[in-house]
Chain A
Amino acid sequence: MGAVVNTTPRRDELTIAASGAEVRRASEWLSATCVRRDIPQAQAQQLEICLNEVLANVLAYGGSAALAAPIGLQLEVLCAAEAGEARMTVSDAGFAFNPLAVKMPPRPNTLAEARPGGLGLVMIRRCSDLLDYRREGGHNHFTFGTRWTRD
């Protein structure tokens, strides 16, 4: 994947309010941007899953500060002839929360053992090739991304 390192990133940004309807708007924006930036379908789907789960966590656990402030989204795409990388950063004003510090629960072996919650972070980890978190300026900045190669 070293082929994309020296390419110039292309950036797209969106600001949304903290609501379920806005999560859907963000998802639609991401899908359209992925098509425009020529991101392969599988990687676009991975990004969409992660974005929905990150925003759902902000809404559910970010607290009143997260719900009162806009949420910033930045998509950065690096594309070379044979490889690419897309990184999405979600910035919110909620409680400090590092998703990377959360220990993943063991997978249940049976339906009876399964608990309905806690799947969002599992999906984020399994659908991303890179993850990063920083707390800066009173905001959480969580980055997830995906990489691909072309034949």
Chain B
Amino acid sequence: MSISYSDVGENLRKIVITGRLDIPGTDSVAAKLEALTAEPKKAVVVDLSSLRFLASIGIRSLIVCAKAVQQRGGKMALVVGDNSSVTMSLEATGVGDLIPVFKTAAEAERAAVA
């Protein structure tokens, strides 16, 4: 399980999560994810394309972060690539209708900073 980030300019933060966002995986990264999205970057892109599994506890964490970004006037977007497992989890919950989901990082970054 790993979480890393890089900042692009003043307004964009890119976060990459790998491993499994199941119970133990989410427990190990949720606090860091919330801290990374709490900082005053307008746009946040979370790349889930290398995630092996996404459970509801992980989606819950993503929703909490997306709401925090929105409350300070920013946008959060997700990248899933061709990850069918993560896409299935997001579609099952309808979260993709609330947090924009893109196949590529470039699309997500454009949407987040728009």
Contacts and interface: CB of A to CB of B under 8 A. Distances in A.
Contact of B57 (A56, A107, A108, A111): A56
Interface string A114-148: 10110110110011000000000000000000000
B4 interface: no
B99 A111 contact: yes
Interface of B: 20, 22-25, 27, 53, 55-57, 59-61, 63-64, 66-67, 70, 84-85, 88-89, 91-95, 97-99
Nearest to B64: A116
B53 A27 contact: yes
Classify the interface of chain A: helix, strand, loop or mixed: helix
Interface string A10-53: 00000000001101100100000000000001100110110011
A59 interface: yes
Contacts of B61: 116
Interface of A: 20-21, 23-24, 27, 41-42, 45-46, 48-49, 52-53, 56, 59, 107-108, 110-112, 114, 116-117, 119-120, 122-123, 126-127
21 contacts: A24-B23, A24-B24, A24-B25, A27-B22, A42-B88, A45-B84, A49-B89, A52-B53, A52-B55, A53-B56, A56-B57, A59-B23, A108-B98, A112-B70, A114-B98, A119-B56, A119-B95, A122-B94, A123-B56, A123-B89, A126-B92
Given A41-B84, A114-B67, A120 B24 contact: no
B94 A107 contact: yes
Nearest to A126: B92
Contacts of B95: 114, 119
